[in-house]
């Protein structure tokens, strides 16, 4: 099990003391994670490195404020540290150059990428960026360094194992690919600090199956076989869906303007629910609608025992097919569920 962020820190993170509201902090977290994803792609980092960098960023901002540490510089420092931890290092100069290039593209959207001059290694701007990034890396190590192994455990491998448990799952490849997309999208939320990786993995599989109208075992209580509580699974699924209701993430200079662009929080997204629930009704935060009432014949013995004679009633889950996807699916080798090392490529 990984060490989760305490409830008091989740409800009252350091940024609140500097006048940064919840919606602004959420937007900055999403922005920082998307920046890491873009930079990691340009740097050709492994997916596990990009995932670890995003988890480090979420963890760090439950100890320090966005007003005290600029999210752009912190994202770069997270890439530096994650690369060292995952043995996927890049030169600090290369990382700074990529983040500088991305910043210039944001600030000059009308300028072609080739028209942006490269960062001069001998310039004052470059030296300042390098100093800031290395300084923040030291803060990351001081705040998180002694428990990195207890926080960097990603749900991707678990999700593939869950899918492979149900041998006869229809549209197996599509479910795996959609699950992978939800897993990568979940990195932009703070779920990695709130629940165990098993919960995120199960919620991603559930959403993928709902998206594709693929039935899951009803009577077997499949989520319990994965040692996942239904209420936690439902909360994780709702959190992932809520991500798609947010406005496009953008940089906010909260250091110089702490109250900048405070927005109304996004409404809770409706969780895909079985058809017996009236379409007009909503799922309250404090109440659980129960697991999806659907069946699926599987080869796993536990699933067979729970499903009884396989004649349980079925119901389709609501569609979430309009949601964004920001990641490719797993490779064929990874879908076989293997490897000692966690791979999220």
**Looking at the structure, do residues 86 and 181 belong to the same domain, yes or no?**
no
Residues 165 and 283 in one domain: yes
CATH of the domain at 64: 1.10.472.10
Confidence at 166, pLDDT banded by 50, 70, 90: low
Question: Which residue in the block uniquely carries the two structure tokens 């629910």?
Answer: 273
- Most distant CA pair in the chain, distance: 72
- Whether the pLDDT of residue 264 is over 70: the answer is no
Listed in sequence order, the DSSP H helices in the chain are: 7-11, 22-42, 47-60, 71-85, 92-107, 124-144, 156-165, 172-186, 191-194, 197-212, 222-225, 230-243, 301-307, 332-335
Tens digit of each residue's pLDDT (9 = 90 or more) over 93-133: 999 999 999 999 998 887 777 778 888 999 999 999 999 99
Helix axis angle for 71-85 and 92-107, nearest 10°, is: 150
144 lies in the same domain as 160: no
pLDDT at 171: 84
pLDDT at residue 146 greater than cutoff 80: no
**Sign of the dihedral through C-alpha 128, 129, 132, 138:** negative
The answer to whether residues 267 and 183 belong to one domain is: yes
Q: Which of 122, 150, 178 is the last residue of a domain?
A: 150
Show the domain range for 111: 12-150
* Closest to 184 measured CA to CA, from 77, 324, 3: 324
The reply to whether 128 and 275 lie within a common domain is no
For residues 299 and 322, state if they share a domain. Answer: yes
Higher pLDDT pick, 175 / 273: 175
Q: What is the pLDDT of residues 177-202, one digit of tens each?
A: 999 999 999 999 999 999 999 999 99
- Cα 263 → chain centroid: 22
Question: How far apart are the C-alpha atoms of 14 and 68, rounded to whole Å?
Answer: 10
Q: Which of 1-15, 146-160, 232-246, 323-337 has the highest mean pLDDT?
A: 232-246
Global pTM? 0.76
Verify that 180 and 325 share a domain, yes or no: yes
Q: How many CA atoms lie within 13 A of 134 on its CB side?
A: 9
pLDDT in tens, 40-51: 999 999 999 999
Residue 49, burial from CB neighbour count under 10 angstroms (0-12, 13-18, 19+): buried
Q: Is residue 30 part of a domain?
A: yes
Higher pLDDT: 322 or 256? It is 256
Count of domains forming the chain: 2
Q: Are 242 and 104 part of one and the same domain?
A: no
Structure tokens at 326: 């920001």
Which residue did the predictor score with more confidence, 282 or 52?
A: 52
Pair 120, 163 in one domain: no
Q: For residue 102, what pLDDT is reported?
A: 94
Q: Where are the alpha helices (DSSP H) in 86-196?
A: 92-107, 124-144, 156-165, 172-186, 191-194
- Per-residue pLDDT at 211: 92
Nearest to 214 by CA among 182, 167, 164, 175: 175
Residue 104: C-alpha distances to residues 47, 72, 117, 118, 310 (Å)? 24, 12, 9, 10, 58
Q: What is the pLDDT of residue 220?
A: 64
In this structure, the number of other CB atoms found within 10 A of the CB of residue 218 comes to 22
pLDDT at 46: 95
Position with higher pLDDT, 27 vs 147: 27
Do 41 and 145 belong to one domain?
yes
- Same-domain check for residues 125 and 166: no
Class of residue 11 by CB neighbours under 10 A (exposed 0-12, middle 13-18, buried 19+): exposed
Average of per-residue pLDDT across 267-284: 40
| pLDDT tier at 25, thresholds 50, 70, 90 | very high
Would you state the pLDDT for residue 270? 58
Summarised one tens digit per residue, pLDDT across range 241-257 is 999 999 999 999 987 76
Is residue 47 included in any domain, yes or no?
yes
């Amino acid at each position: 099990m990984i060490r989760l962020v305490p409830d008091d820190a989740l409800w009252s993170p350091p940024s609140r003391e500097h006048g940064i509201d919840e919606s602004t902090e959420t937007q900055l977290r999403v922005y920082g994670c998307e920046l890491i994803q873009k930079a990691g792609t340009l740097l050709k980092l492994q997916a596990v490195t990009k995932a670890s960098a995003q988890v480090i960023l979420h963890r760090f901002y439950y100890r320090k404020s966005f007003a005290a540490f600029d999210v752009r510089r912190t994202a770069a420092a997270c890439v530096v540290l994650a690369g060292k931890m995952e043995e996927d290092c890049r030169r600090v100069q290369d990382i700074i150059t990529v983040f500088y290039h991305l910043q210039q593209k944001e600030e000059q959207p009308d300028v072609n990428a080739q028209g942006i001059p490269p960062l001069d290694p001998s310039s004052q701007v470059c030296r300042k960026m390098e100093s800031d990034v290395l300084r923040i890396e030291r803060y990351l190590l001081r705040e998180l360094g002694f428990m990195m192994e207890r926080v960097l455990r990603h749900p991707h491998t678990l999700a593939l194992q869950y899918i492979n448990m149900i041998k006869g799952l229809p549209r197996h490849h599509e479910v795996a690919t959609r699950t992978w997309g939800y897993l990568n999208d979940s990195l932009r939320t703070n779920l990695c600090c709130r629940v165990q990786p098993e919960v995120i993995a199960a919620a991603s599989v559930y959403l993928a199956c709902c998206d594709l109208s693929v039935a899951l075992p009803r009577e077997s209580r499949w989520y319990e076989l994965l040692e996942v509580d239904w209420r936690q699974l439902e909360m994780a699924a709702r959190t992932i869906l809520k991500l798609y209701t947010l406005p496009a993430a953008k940089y906010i200079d909260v250091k110089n303007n702490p109250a900048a662009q405070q927005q109304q929080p996004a409404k809770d997204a409706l969780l895909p629910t079985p058809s017996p629930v009236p379409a007009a009704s909503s799922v309250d935060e404090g109440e659980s609608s129960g697991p999806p009432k659907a069946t699926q014949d599987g080869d796993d013995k536990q699933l067979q025992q729970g499903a009884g004679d396989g004649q349980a009633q079925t119901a389709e889950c609501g569609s979430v097919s309009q949601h964004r996807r920001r990641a490719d699916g797993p490779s064929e080798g990874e879908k076989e569920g293997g490897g000692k090392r966690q791979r999220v490529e």
